[in-house]
Amino acid sequence: MEHKVCPWWLGYLLASPVRRLWHNPRTILQPFVTEGMQVLEPGCGMGFFTVELARLVGPRGKVVAVDVQPQMIAGLKHLARKAGLVERIDARLAKGDSMEIADLAGTIDFTLAFAMIHELPNAGHFLDEVYRALKPGRKILVAEPKGHVKEIDFAKLMETAKRTGFRVDEGPAIRSSWTAVFTRD
């Protein structure tokens, strides 16, 4: 798989409301997220899914949104302020090869990894971090774009998840995406 991070300026396009015609965040997330949950969203970009996650977790929940680009985090904060949801979002800048989430060990109810794992140099390290953050029995929804990720590479990702300790199940149908749900044992 190619390991190239999406340019920050594309974040404006990816956070556009028009994108809802292609990927409706509520439709995708509602089966997984309920009020009061603690959610992790690595590779959050400018907040296309983050804002809907914040609505779904409600005032008692929290979304930890992580990205490697400061411009993406700035765009996310702007969008969250406009939506009146900034208090529900903990926006973090990842450093190096870590999401800087060790403080979340065993506290996360759900993780959304949407079109971002293919940008990482080490999917195994990423899955280790998510595994430690998740509560036992909790899930990560993985969606990777078919235009960037080959089926064989997605199959390798599922094998890596199994080696990490996840149970791997088929994911929901999401337009133009390979999907899977990984459950922490």
| pLDDT tens column, 66-109 | 999 899 899 999 999 999 999 999 999 998 789 999 999 999 99
Average pLDDT, the chain: 90
- Structural domains of the chain, count: 1
Tell me whether residue 138 is in a domain. Answer: yes
Tell me whether residue 4 is in a domain. Answer: no
Tell me whether residue 49 is in a domain. Answer: yes
Share of the chain above pLDDT 70, in %: 88
Question: 3-state class of 134 per DSSP?
Answer: strand
Instruction: State residue 2's pLDDT score.
Output: 42
* Number of residues that make up the chain: 185
Tell me whether residue 145 is in a domain. Answer: yes
Tell me if 37 sits within 8 A of 61, measured CB to CB.
Answer: yes
* pLDDT tens digits for range 105-136: 999 999 999 999 998 889 999 999 999 999 99
CATH number of the domain encompassing residue 46: 3.40.50.150
- Averaged over 18-39, what is the pLDDT? 86
Instruction: Answer whether residue 36 shows pLDDT above 60.
Output: yes
Helices and strands of the chain, counted as H and E runs: 6, 7
Tell me whether residue 39 is in a domain. Answer: yes
Instruction: Answer whether residue 19 shows pLDDT above 70.
Output: no
Taking alpha carbons only, the member of 23, 80, 34, 86 closest to residue 56 is 34
66 is in which domain, residue-wise?
A: 34-184
* CA-based end-to-end distance of the chain: 27
Contacts of 176 (CB under 8 A, 6+ apart): 22, 145, 146, 147
Q: Where are the alpha helices (DSSP H) in the chain?
A: 11-14, 25-29, 50-57, 70-83, 123-133, 151-164
Instruction: Answer whether residue 17 shows pLDDT above 70.
Output: no
pTM comes to 0.90
Cα atoms in the Cβ-side hemisphere of radius 13 Å centred on 72: 28
Tell me whether residue 1 is in a domain. Answer: no
Tell me whether residue 3 is in a domain. Answer: no
Tell me whether residue 115 is in a domain. Answer: yes
Q: How confident is the model at residue 12 (pLDDT cuts 50, 70, 90)?
A: very low
